[in-house]
Structure 1
Amino acid sequence: MLKQTLQQKLLQKLSPQQIQFIKLLQVPTVSLDARIKEELEENPALEDGSLANMNDPVEEYPDHDPEENFESQDNEFDEEFSVDEYIQEDDYNDYSTSYGNDDDDDKKEIPIAVQDSFFELLQNQLDLLALSDQDYLVGQQIIGSLDDDGYLRRPILSLIDDLAFSQNVIAEEAEVESILKVIQDFEPAGIGARNLQECLLIQLRKKDQNNPIINQAIKVVEDYLEEFTKKHYDKIEKQLGVDSEELKDIINEILKLNPKPGDSGASTNKQLHIIPDFHITNNDGILHLTLNGRNAPELRVSRNYQEMFAHYEKAEKTDKKMKEAVQFVKQKLDSAKWFIDAIKQRQQTLLKTMNAIMEYQYDYFLTGDERLLRPMILKDIADKIEMDISTVSRVANSKYVQTEFGTFLLKSFFSEAIQTDSGEEVSNKEVKKILEECIANEDKHKPLADEKLTEILKEKGYTIARRTVAKYREAMNIPVARLRKEL
């Protein structure tokens, strides 16, 4: 049975401009340059002002309220299009110099040493061996099957199948095992192992076998690896018949080994290069905030496209192709102006949000003492700047600030409140700091259990459950007391 009804719905939809702004807002400075280059390549109506003719007469682009909704732009788009709006030579590059650019010294690239990759290093060692063509192909297959840690996780039978299908090589299991033993003798030591135990044994067996400590270490890895990983040292002492000092030497020998030999070849090429989005400096007790404009080049609407549109608009538009050309140019000009406006609004929003965080945590940014961090949640900053919580979240999750005592992710300044016995609300960062200090100063022969840490915090006025202490300890990547024990 068909039925017709009237229904009212209230829907909230994001305009294309709002979506573009949201996406740009969550992009960190280190990635913003690539995003702008991508837009420059896609939109010929958008130009890099530093490369364009800067002698053109320009008119200052009017400031745009960062909190202003894009509804006005949507209305303009729906209304009759005005040519005059696009033939004006607006200057959109004022945003890039509003907060100051970095010094030239900061723009120097970090030199990276050129060296062979991990797999190239193994391939070079394989090339030096006198192998038959088939054995060489088997060796290549094994090297190509290693993971980033240097382990061979695939079964031998799977390698044999791969050789048959991809290389048309029929190999026996014993033959593959033999070549694998050859590769396990390559550098770095421990490469080609199929598990942690085999990896450690390969490294130990390359050492002096006449050393009794080495022989005992081999026995521990072969027979008591589980007890070793769980630090049941008393059991190992009884089984080996050694005292604590001898066991300490054996354990230290094992700890010198590399559990991930594949990382050693590539670690030098891995760089964690963070470009801060903000800089906070302390000028005689007064904090000064600047926004990093390094990856925001001067952008402007193309003069050629403006003139092209003016020409098309004056021409006869009876031809279908001419109408399509006018619409295309208009779309590209619209897109260029929207992108420039979104970049400017992004920087204004970032600065406004970071300024509110700095004011809220003023005492912390003066000294760098984590104990001075006030409890702060996203809603506190959102209310302060009169923006949505999601906007603050996008800023905090991917942006860094450089201070005189380090560079930090904005998200790290947010924390929940904990009430002390005196009724004062403090940040859980303060509790974590106390826990960290207690564990750092503990007797490693008798590390503090979570129950003891709970008692210490209670004595200091922080009444917290043991499970909460365990949660904070795990959040700081600190293992349980038994795994912190040392001989």
Structure 2
Amino acid sequence: MMNKLTQSLEQRQKFLPKQILETVLLQMNSIDLEQKILEELEKNPALELQEIQESDSEQDLEEPLEEIDWEEILNFDYDEGIKGPSDRSRKNLGAPIQHVYTAVERLLDQITYLELSEKNRKIAEVIIWNIDEQGYLLTDLELLSDRLKVGIKDIEKMLQIVQRLDPPGIGARDLQECLLIQLELLGGNNLSINIIKNFFDDFANRRFERLENKLNCSKEELNESLKFISHLNPKPGEGSPTTPADYILPDLIVEEVDGELIVAVNDGNIPEIGISKKYKNLIGNVPSENDEVKKFLHNKIESAKWFVQAVQQRQINIVKVMKAIISRQDLFFSGEITQVKPMILKDIAEMTELDISTISRVTRGKYVQTPWGVFELKHFFSDGIMNQSGEEVSTNLIKSRLKSIIENEDKKDPISDDGMVEILQNEGFSLARRTIAKYRNQMKIPVARLRRIF
């Protein structure tokens, strides 16, 4: 078979590096953007903090350009050399963040105070590193035994020790084991231990009458035990202290000034950056025969320009999108915060003449501070359904009504999904039972049987 050359013509859509950079920055929130800018300042010497550029401008002009060592520039470690300006910018951004210990770090710290052999300490550490965020050990003990080349009894012995550290129940393999450990350590009575140990299925499914009959106890005794169990922690791994990441830093601020809503980017912590004048001047003073230096400087300056423009374009786009949201959600931003109109990404894309993917990146994971509180931008987007009068209402309004109905129901006889269909039908909303169930699941509300209180 002979090889032959062929020609073909085809069209391909390719993103330019500048477009990719704009896309990446657009989907970042303020905290991520701040970190990205600091990283870029360390990597690119042509990018400079504006405040440093202004304060050092006179000193830069006094430096004789003819004495520059080009070889030193090409071989200089910029990751090390740019640390001065970067560190100064960090000082201006606020006090250092205090380290907060994670659940794993706290457990590892506790086992250092136990009198354990090197072998057992190693086993305990491996167990701790295999605990998930909710505090459960999901790795099979046989697998840990094979990995550590130790007996299964050694693993079980150390697991019992880890499970009785603080918080109690950490490292349990299921909810039943987690609650039993807490009952043992926190002084649960015999009835509550018996419920979890021998009648866990009835307890989990809230079959309280059956429990009363099987345990041959009074209603008061059962209620007392169930109340004690209800105060146990089903997710011991989530008891970590609050970290700085638990606080929301809004990306946008909407303020009312003289009766008009003003949109601003919350960039108070984001460093002001620009192109270094020094590096701009260097290109014109590079010897003509030194093409390598000239190419190096040119690439760094172009990269810095792209980055500055991408940051500016990000601000323009998110402000444009926020203004369109305010225009569309006029009732909400006039103070009626329960009145969120049906709105999808396509609506804002048409108003701003931006692509839907751009709107998605702008609204993903970003928050706005308004006179009525801080809201995620996604809060303003929802599908719409028609009520019996022909008016389109937001699904958020339906969910809010469902939540209100469930919060005010009789917990001894909670309302079923069919019952909520009937209530909403009387209020002018025709919804199927499966739709009610879908909205309830989205709000992480259990079925009526599991909401029941004995």
Deviates more, 1:434-443 or 1:234-243: 234-243
In structure 1, the residue matched to 2:27 is: 26
How far does residue 44 in structure 1 lie from its aligned partner after superposition? 1.1
Q: 1:360 aligns with which of 324, 328, 346?
A: 328
Change over 3 Å in CA distance of 1:247–1:107 after alignment to 2: farther
Give the partner amino acid of 1:240.
L
Q: Secondary structure at the match of 1:52?
A: helix
Change over 3 Å in CA distance of 1:191–1:478 after alignment to 2: closer
In structure 1, the residue matched to 2:197 is: 222
Q: Is the 8 A contact 1:17 1:338 kept in 2?
A: yes
Cα displacement string for residues 164-192 of structure 1 (whole angstroms, at most 9, x for unaligned residues) = 3xxxxxx5544554444444443332244
Give the partner amino acid of 2:282.
M
In structure 2, the residue matched to 1:467 is: 434
Cα displacement string for residues 57-77 of structure 1 (whole angstroms, at most 9, x for unaligned residues) = 9xxxxxxxxxxxxxxxxxxxx
Question: Equivalent residues in 2 for 1:112-123 (5 A)?
Answer: 112=98, 117-119=102-104, 121-123=106-108
In structure 2, the residue matched to 1:344 is: 312
How far does residue 418 in structure 1 lie from its aligned partner after superposition? 1.2
Between the aligned partners of 1:468 and 1:287, the Cα distance in structure 2 is 37
In structure 2, the residue matched to 1:252 is: 227
Change over 3 Å in CA distance of 1:329–1:162 after alignment to 2: same
Change over 3 Å in CA distance of 1:432–1:148 after alignment to 2: closer
Cα displacement string for residues 338-392 of structure 1 (whole angstroms, at most 9, x for unaligned residues) = 211111111111111111111111220221522x111111111111111111111
Question: Equivalent residues in 2 for 1:71-470 (5 A)?
Answer: 108=94, 112=98, 117-119=102-104, 121-123=106-108, 125-131=110-116, 134-135=119-120, 138-164=123-149, 172-208=151-187, 214-264=189-239, 266-269=240-243, 271-283=245-257, 285-312=259-286, 315-317=287-289, 322-370=290-338, 372-470=339-437
Change over 3 Å in CA distance of 1:148–1:412 after alignment to 2: closer
How far does residue 115 in structure 1 lie from its aligned partner after superposition? 6.5
Between the aligned partners of 1:332 and 1:183, the Cα distance in structure 2 is 53
Change over 3 Å in CA distance of 1:3–1:45 after alignment to 2: same
How far does residue 263 in structure 1 lie from its aligned partner after superposition? 3.4
In structure 2, the residue matched to 1:76 is: none
Q: Is the 8 A contact 1:24 1:342 kept in 2?
A: yes
Gaps of 5+ in 2: 59-91
Give the structure-1-normalised TM-score: 0.78
How far does residue 435 in structure 1 lie from its aligned partner after superposition? 1.2
Give the partner amino acid of 2:280.
Q
Higher RCO (CA 8 Å, separation ≥ 6 residues): 1
Between the aligned partners of 2:272 and 2:186, the Cα distance in structure 1 is 60
Q: Is the 8 A contact 2:349 2:356 kept in 1?
A: yes
Change over 3 Å in CA distance of 1:54–1:282 after alignment to 2: same
Give the partner amino acid of 1:306.
K
Q: Secondary structure at the match of 2:14?
A: coil
Q: Secondary structure at the match of 2:424?
A: helix
Q: Is the 8 A contact 1:30 1:274 kept in 2?
A: no
Change over 3 Å in CA distance of 1:473–1:196 after alignment to 2: closer
Q: Secondary structure at the match of 2:431?
A: coil
Gaps of 5+ in 1: 58-105, 165-170
Question: Equivalent residues in 2 for 1:23-62 (5 A)?
Answer: 23-54=24-55, 56=57
Give the partner amino acid of 2:312.
K
Q: Secondary structure at the match of 1:267?
A: coil
Q: Is the 8 A contact 2:93 2:269 kept in 1?
A: no
Q: Secondary structure at the match of 1:443?
A: coil
Q: Secondary structure at the match of 1:44?
A: coil
How far does residue 276 in structure 1 lie from its aligned partner after superposition? 0.8
Give the partner amino acid of 1:221.
I
Change over 3 Å in CA distance of 1:334–1:188 after alignment to 2: closer
Between the aligned partners of 2:259 and 2:268, the Cα distance in structure 1 is 27
Give the partner amino acid of 1:305.
Y
Cα displacement string for residues 425-459 of structure 1 (whole angstroms, at most 9, x for unaligned residues) = 12111111111111111111111111111111111
How far does residue 39 in structure 1 lie from its aligned partner after superposition? 1.6
Change over 3 Å in CA distance of 1:301–1:420 after alignment to 2: same
Pairwise CA RMSD = 2.9
Q: Is the 8 A contact 2:345 2:359 kept in 1?
A: yes
Q: Is the 8 A contact 1:282 1:366 kept in 2?
A: no
Give the partner amino acid of 1:218.
I
Between the aligned partners of 1:116 and 1:343, the Cα distance in structure 2 is 34
How far does residue 271 in structure 1 lie from its aligned partner after superposition? 3.8
Give the structure-2-normalised TM-score: 0.83
Give the partner amino acid of 1:188.
P
